[in-house]
Each structure stands twice: as structure tokens, then as C-alpha cells.
Amino acid sequence: MRVVGTYCRARQEDLAPGAEYWPVDMADRGAVRSFLADLAPGLKRPVLVYTPGISPNNLAHKFEDAEWDRALEINLTGAFLACKGLLPRMREIGYGRIVLISSILARQGVPGTVAYSATKAGLGAMARVIAAENARKGITANTLALGYHDIGIIKAVPEPFLRE
């Protein structure tokens, strides 16, 4: 089994040992297309687990356009581009697994998380459509809506807020 990953700003010590990694900004459409065009043809049983996510926090009426756009680019458009880049190969070989990492915030109204929550909810809709379009080709698509855990974005949340 070959494990391939991308990273943008991850520290090397946070990356899984033994996996192959390439720095790809998932908001850069050209970089994502190029990376997947090179990678996809060699995949024998492709599995996509899309984990990137950013969470700019602000009340909805105070959100800056650039914050909103960046969250959409990374959390939702990046996931779409990854799926779009791998689906032709998956359909060609009649096999594929897509898991889009969502969040419990896709279903909860937590103040200050409008962009993150909206994008993570969008992943659910995207997975349902992709699953419906590709089930007959041996491809599944799902989201995994995680709760709070001590890695990634949650590390930036102050402890008092987590206790609440």
C-alpha cells in the first residue's frame, strides 16, 4: 500500500513516518490539478481522505471577505478539486473511496464559526452527490464529522472555551 499526502504548513515532525509527502496548497487550483494529474494514473486502489481545514473565527457580520474566501478555498473548493482530480481514475478502474473530514460544527450553531461550519456542512452535500453519481462505478463517498480532539485547529482554542 502506498500512502501519499500533501501539506502546506505542517511541521515535518507532525507528518506520518513512511508516507510520501508533497507541499501542495489546496487553494491553488493549478497546483492541485498538476499534482493529481501526475499521481492518479499510478493509483491501483485510490482512497482520498481530505483533511485540510482552516477556521477563521469571527461573528458573521464582522467577517472579512478574504477570510471567508480563504475558508471556502481550503475547506470546500480544495476538497472538490481533489475529488475531481481522482474521480476519473476511480471510475476507470471501478474502485474508489472518498472520505471528507467534516466536523460536528457542520450541525451545531457555534458563534464565531460561520465560515468553518458552512464549509464543513458543504462537504456533506458534496459527498452525497458524488456518492449518488458514482456508486455504480464502485466508488463510495462519505464525510466523517469529528468532534473536538487535541490536534489541528483545536490547539488554538483557549482552554476555558473548551471547558464550556
The DSSP output letter for 134 is H
* Residue 7 bears catalytic tag: no
Q: Which residues of 117-143 are buried (b: 16+ CB within 10 A; e: fewer)?
A: bbbbbbbbebbeebeeebeeeebbbbb
Q: Are 52 and 26 in contact (CB under 8 A)?
A: yes
Q: Which residues pair with 140 in a beta bridge?
A: 97
Give the H/E segment covering residue 164: none
Q: Which of 23, 17, 30, 19 is nearest to 52 (CA)?
A: 23
Instruction: List C-alpha distances in Å: 7 to 21, 48, 52, 70, 157.
Output: 7, 14, 9, 16, 22
Q: Which of 21, 50, 95, 116 is catalytic?
A: 116
Query: Catalytic residue positions?
Result: 116
